[in-house]
Amino acid sequence: MSRTEGADCIDLTAAELIERALQAGEVALTDSGAIYTVTGTRTGRAPGDRYIVREPSSETLIDWGAVNQPFEADAFQALWGRVIIHLAATDNYISHLHIGACDDNYLPLIVTTETAWHSLFARNMFVHPSHSYNCKNKRRWRVLHAANFVCQPSRDGTNTDGCVIINFAQRKVLIAGMRYAGELKKAMFSVQNFLLPERDVLPMHCAANVGIDADGNSDTCLLFGLSGTGKTTLSADPKRYLIGDDEHGWARDRVFNFEGGCYAKTIDLSPRNEPLIWKAIRFGAIVENVMVDSDTRRADYTDSTYSENGRCSYPLKHIDERVEANFSGEAEHVIFLSCDVSGVLPPVSILSKEAAAYHFLSGYTAKIGSTELAADGRVSDTICAVFSACFGAPFMPRPAHIYADLLMRRIDSFGSKVFLVNTGWTGGSGVVEDGQSKGRRFAIPVTRAIVSAIQSGELDDVETRHLDVLNLHIPLRVTGVDSDLLNPRDAWADTNDYDVAAKSLAKLFVDNIDKFSVAAAIKMAGPKA
């Protein structure tokens, strides 16, 4: 295949894309060899600008509402045509890629972007065809990404000047006016989240890694969680092998990665706490919305001037400790990561199957430096509690119970052990009042010790204590963790304050689960108001 055909630049290498991005002034170099860029007013996803085309083949299967907003088919056709005309006036960067790399559960893609750096992002985050299976019987999806196109709501039927629109009938994704690169990967994640349940495969918003013991036996661990809970940081463990950091499928005999790269948050990134991620930010990586010194070209990951949601994208090959095949066996251990702003949840709890269903449907965490833009187009720095079903409601086109039922079947059939891990606060709330918070956030080494204990099997069958209001079972001991931290009530200076906060959080859980139609046994497994 020719590398260039007219204005089309087809399947360029990473080096060629970096050269073109530098020549066009899209990016600049950092001292590590990575490129960096700023995405303007949109430094996170814009859920209010995400749509699904309403058409007969998918209409009755989608959970329509604020998350899955309908878009008319005629309006989509008209807007697609306008974007095609817009792209015809510029160089196009075209890549042939896959999402997923396991058996028949992947999709071939043609990704067309207006900018070279977004094409590099696609190459980093999706899977190269040589890594996948023969796709002769697969119909390709087409993705158009026009970062500089400006939507006109009165003409185009959008809410603002940008949009992400999925058309299942035509196998098309249109992304216009969105420079924040995360929209590209999450759009195709949403596609897989719709398609895979029909194949009895659970799509998951989770990280996954594998441990291998002295006898060569392997164990797979899943880490579910929303942005800011620590999926990428905790899955990049020097003692284990990474499958992926964000998007996976769970089939009857394996867990497989949808992606070919990682997209890590960079706020306060350090070589001590995140050594693998730190080493991965080199030539071929993209640093996004991070302050970089103009003289030294050194990125300052403590500076949130542009956004708390600074990011870096890098291919999996930048991680030496990875699973080359991009998949492994089914999950022995499943961890739900929750960044609890109230300081009420224990650092680790052991969940029954029913409790696992409850907390999966709840998807409780805190929004911190959110990846989502508010209605005014800005990322909020406010810390607040949030429930996001399946730990990924913004990407789930189908009703939540579809995914919960699949997860319960996988856990039940394989005998997976499930845990709830709090990566948030203890000893008090994380909400800042008068310049400081009453609680303190768990240190990464503490959470790593807990996760290691889970993965080693240490907590599979241990003595526990029951927390009545939260209805959680907590271990009495965890190797490498101060026992005084395990019961959150003991960490508060005033236990009465803890009791009040625990009852308040329990009521939030109960109010949220009432939105779902679930079995009585599942409701009984959750907190008590």
In tens, the pLDDT along 79-123 reads 999 999 999 999 999 999 999 876 778 999 999 999 999 999 999
pTM: 0.93
For position 3, what pLDDT does the model report? Answer: 41
Is residue 265's pLDDT more than 70?
Answer: yes
CATH number of 327-524: 3.90.228.20
Residue 528 has phi, psi (to 5 degrees) of: -110, 120
Residue 232 near residue 207, CB atoms below 8 Å: yes
Q: Which of 291, 168, 186 is nearest to 247 (CA)?
A: 186
- Strands 92-99 vs 8-10: parallel, antiparallel or unpaired: parallel
For position 380, what pLDDT does the model report? Answer: 46
Render pLDDT for 132-144 as a digit per residue (tens, 0 to 9): 455 556 889 999 9
524: CB partners within 8 A, 6+ apart: 354
Q: How many residues does the chain have?
A: 529
Render pLDDT for 270-306 as a digit per residue (tens, 0 to 9): 999 999 999 999 999 999 999 999 999 999 999 999 9
Q: How far apart are CA 124 and CA 285, in angstroms?
A: 8
Catalytic residues: 45, 186, 205, 227, 231-232, 246, 311
Long-range pairs for 270-275 at CB < 8 Å and ≥24 separation?
270/301, 273/233, 273/444, 273/445, 274/233, 274/236, 274/444, 275/238
227 — pLDDT class (breaks 50, 70, 90): confident
DSSP H/E element including 445:
helix 444-456
- What mean pLDDT do residues 137-155 have? 95
Residue with the larger pLDDT of the pair 150 and 366: 150
- What mean pLDDT do residues 56-68 have? 97
For position 215, what pLDDT does the model report? Answer: 76
Beta strand residue intervals within 161-217, DSSP E: 163-167, 172-176, 202-212
Percent of the chain with pLDDT over 70: 94
Please report which residue ranges of 173-230 form alpha helices under DSSP H: 182-195
Q: How far apart are CA 220 and CA 463, in angstroms?
A: 24
